[in-house]
Structure 1
Amino acid sequence: MRVPRRLLFLGSVVAGAALYVRGVYRYRDPVRLPAPQPGAVLSPADGRVLLVRRITDGQVKGYGAVTDLLGWPQAPAAGWLLGLYVGPLDVQYLYQPVGGEVVRAEFADGLALQGGTGAGSLGLGARLGLLLGQPAELPALGRPRLTFTLRAPAGVEKGTEVTVALPDQGGDAETLNFLRPGDPARVGNKAAYAEGGGLVLVALPEGTTPQVSVGDHVTGAETVLARLS
């Protein structure tokens, strides 16, 4: 039985589009030059907001101790935790949300980055809903595979730090860290590469005012997530 030429052509187009998305589009690196905005915390990633929740006494309601979520013993005891979902079609790079100094940038000790399904994974239905602009429930969160902390520059309250963490989500996706402790932090510069996207957590200190809500779409190095004191 001969396959109609139209079906062959359509199949070729679909296959070509899939190869382009997987091999080219997901690796795109757009140029982003954020305008100076004193006190602004920019989004570290493209994606959709899944979580905006208070940190009280070192705990995040429904998710436990913020130090466990971030893998950072000096995580804020009070403030805000925001959760972003970077989809497979979003830019896969992470950006520095504030300028100042890199305080910490490391992978979790002994964390296996290959095989299995991590606790932070979203189901297929939730992922499809996010692509259509529908908010999803944040899943149970596993240990972070990468955490970096930036200390805000002079002019902002002393000791103000913003921490970004990527919970383990299993699979064999590659994660690259571009930061080193002690380096100057430059708002909008690339901080890491997270192949395949996934969840990104942002911890903000007390006195911060979130500027986004659950369901909002954010653009890395452009959207203002919050305002610092």
Structure 2
Amino acid sequence: MKVRLHPEGRKFVAIFAAVTLVFFFVWQPLGWIGLIATVWCLAFFRDPIRTVPQEAGIVVSPADGVVSMIERVAVPPELHMEARELTRISVFMDVFDCHVNRTPVAGTVKHIVYTEGKFLNASLDKASLDNERNSMVVTTPDGREVGVVQIAGLVARRILCFVDNGTPLATGERFGLIRFGSRVDVYLPDGVEPLVAVGQKMVSGESVLARMNGPQTPIVTAKV
């Protein structure tokens, strides 16, 4: 089966493959270990097509992984959102998940702030304020704001964001990537309730986190 590879991963796969060839010349068992690592690297940077719901007001998961926390928390100051507390949904990605991040809502990027920090386990609550992170606010067509924060983890050492202030985004559009193992937080507008539970498996761009306009059916989808 053909694997769609994100451009950011090409150099890493090439490096892993080159090292694997050297390993095979040095000692064959070492080469097989390198081959496994190369296959893992290829899988890590996979960028599959996703079927994105097109319902107005939908909030989709920005990442593959598991819902690790759903809490009413103080909004990080760098987001500059009006509400003091909002519902935060955290999606934790392990090193086997696809790490291409997708915007949870349609709208325009209001602002982006990068914050240096630590590399604690991304599943910890304090990682939201202590870890290296990239924070983004998306303003929806009806004027509501959704906060999206990419958080580095124990082995993550690079957060990539492909959009700028003022960039228009469609629901489920790719906006970034984190290397290697991390978390993405979504801050829902006040009054919007989550439709997921802690421990639930998420698929970026497909799994519905919440509806800002209330239940609506049917849901139209588009492959992105």
Instruction: State TM-score, norm by structure 2.
Output: 0.73
Q: Which residue of 2 aligns with 1:131?
A: none
Distance in 2 between residues matched to 1:207 and 1:201, nearest whole Å? 17
C-alpha displacement at 1:161, in angstroms? Answer: 1.0
SS, match of residue 34 in structure 1: strand
Letter of the 1:221 partner, please give it: G
- Total equivalences in the alignment: 185
C-alpha displacement at 1:209, in angstroms? Answer: 1.6
Alignment of 1:80-119 (within 5 A): 80-108=87-115, 111=116, 118-119=119-120
Structure 2: runs of 5+ lacking an equivalent: 1-26, 214-224
Q: Which residue of 1 aligns with 2:159?
A: 175
- Which structure is richer in relative contact order (CA contacts within 8 A, separation 6 or more)? 1
Letter of the 2:106 partner, please give it: G
Structure 1: runs of 5+ lacking an equivalent: 1-7, 55-59, 123-136
RMSD: 2.3
Q: Which residue of 2 aligns with 1:125?
A: none
Structure number with higher helix proportion: 2
C-alpha displacement at 1:139, in angstroms? Answer: 4.1
C-alpha displacement at 1:216, in angstroms? Answer: 0.3
Letter of the 2:185 partner, please give it: L
- Judged with a 3 Å threshold, the aligned counterparts in structure 2 of structure 1 residues 82 and 186 are, in CA distance, closer, same or farther, namely same
C-alpha displacement at 1:146, in angstroms? Answer: 0.4
Moved more, 9-18 or 187-196: 9-18
Q: Which residue of 2 aligns with 1:140?
A: 126
Letter of the 1:66 partner, please give it: V
Aligned 8 A contact 2:119 2:156 in 1: no
Instruction: State TM-score, norm by structure 1.
Output: 0.72
Aligned 8 A contact 1:102 1:148 in 2: yes
Distance in 2 between residues matched to 1:189 and 1:47, nearest whole Å? 17
Distance in 2 between residues matched to 1:87 and 1:30, nearest whole Å? 17
